[in-house]
A = this chain, B = another copy of it.
Amino acid sequence: MFSTLQLQEILETAIKNLKFPENPKQLYDPITYIINLGGKRIRPLLVLMATDLFGKNPNDAVHAAMAVEVFHNFTLVHDDIMDNAPLRRGKATVHEKWSINVAILSGDVMMVEANKNLAKVNVKYLKDVLDTFNATAQGVCEGQQLDMEFEERDDVSIEEYINMIRLKTAILLGGALKLGAIIAEASEKDANLIYDFGENIGIAFQLQDDILDVYADPEKFGKQVGGDIIANKKTFLLLKAFELAENENLNLLQNLTKQTEFNPKDKIEAVKGIYDTLDIQNIAKTTMNTYMNKALELMAQINVSDQAKAKILELTTQLMARQF
């Protein structure tokens, strides 16, 4: 078994060794740029961890891990165009730094690069690996589409929201783990269990993000607390508040989210006030814990030793330990 640190070293070396053609520069420079903006490399790490979990050499899964990381970065480049986002990890997004056309086309070629990495997987698992990867990639596109549609809608249910975050962010965690499991020749049952584990922790992580946006300790939180509130982002918290608010609170919430001119601090305070009245933080935490517990139940069913499971569970715990 490899330590998490060793797996991370394998990843960093592999990322450094990702080679793209030199020309045309405008096509390939953005790939190197976005991949080197960093990030926690959670998704490729999950690929390696799953291979390791099922007792095989994680080095066998490096190509699949790179495919997942390059694919993830491709979605960031295209999502940033669609969301009109100027910054990514504190730096200019690709379409800001170059142009929308460059961002579209570099994104496209990243998708090809992801597939090229995937095609390097041992042919024994290739078909299974492709099917899992393609189903995941398709779901991620569907999630992004739903996310954009929700911005235009006033009747998004909690159920729809959970399904959207499942597609947009959670299934890539599940898919990453399943790829690692396939390469480790895990049983189909175990491969599906770890996929479902990933999906459930993914939903829990996103709910945690929603909660942290409002309730994080500003000293420890990387970004501005209340950003989602200012942007009227339809998070679990806002949707739940709309579901539960009545009379005066409902009116107030409607007015607050319709205002075009406002003092950001006042708006955050006022929305938070409604959340507190409706106990939204606790409801969100309870839902988050439900998904986390479901994930842990699924992990418990996987047919390997508790010792082998320790690394993935430790990573999960670390990621969930961000301060409220």
Contact = CB atoms under 8 A, between A and B. Distances in A.
Interface of A: 21, 23-24, 26-27, 78, 81-82, 101, 104-105, 107-109, 111-113, 115-116, 118-119, 123, 126-127, 130-131, 134, 137-138, 141-142, 144-146, 148-149
30 contacts: A21-B142, A23-B142, A24-B142, A24-B145, A24-B146, A24-B149, A26-B149, A78-B105, A78-B108, A81-B101, A81-B104, A82-B101, A101-B148, A105-B144, A105-B145, A107-B108, A108-B141, A109-B141, A111-B111, A112-B134, A113-B138, A115-B115, A115-B130, A116-B134, A118-B130, A119-B130, A119-B131, A119-B134, A123-B127, A130-B130
Contacts of A148: 101, 105
> Which are the 6 A-B pairs with shortest beta-carbon distances?
A119-B130, A109-B141, A27-B145, A24-B145, A82-B101, A112-B137
Contacts of A105: 78, 82, 141, 144-145, 148
A149 B99 CA distance: 12
A244 to B, nearest CB: 27
Contacts of A119: 127, 130-131, 134
A24 B145 CA distance: 7
Contacts of A118: 130
A18 to B, nearest CB: 14
A27 B126 contact: no
Nearest to A119: B130
A25 to B, nearest CB: 9
A38 to B, nearest CB: 24
A134 B149 contact: no
Contacts of A78: 104-105, 108
Nearest to A115: B134
A127 B126 contact: yes
A37 B105 CA distance: 23
Tell me what chain A mostly uses at the interface: helix, strand, loop, or mixed.
helix
Contacts of A24: 142, 145-146, 149
A134 B70 CA distance: 15
Contacts of A101: 81-82, 148
A182 to B, nearest CB: 13
Nearest to A23: B142
Contacts of A21: 142
Contacts of A107: 108
A101 B145 CA distance: 9
A137 B2 CA distance: 36
A181 to B, nearest CB: 18
A131 B101 CA distance: 26
Contacts of A112: 134, 137-138, 141
A13 to B, nearest CB: 23
Given A104-B104, A130-B115, A138 B109 contact: yes
A108 B111 CA distance: 9
Contacts of A146: 24
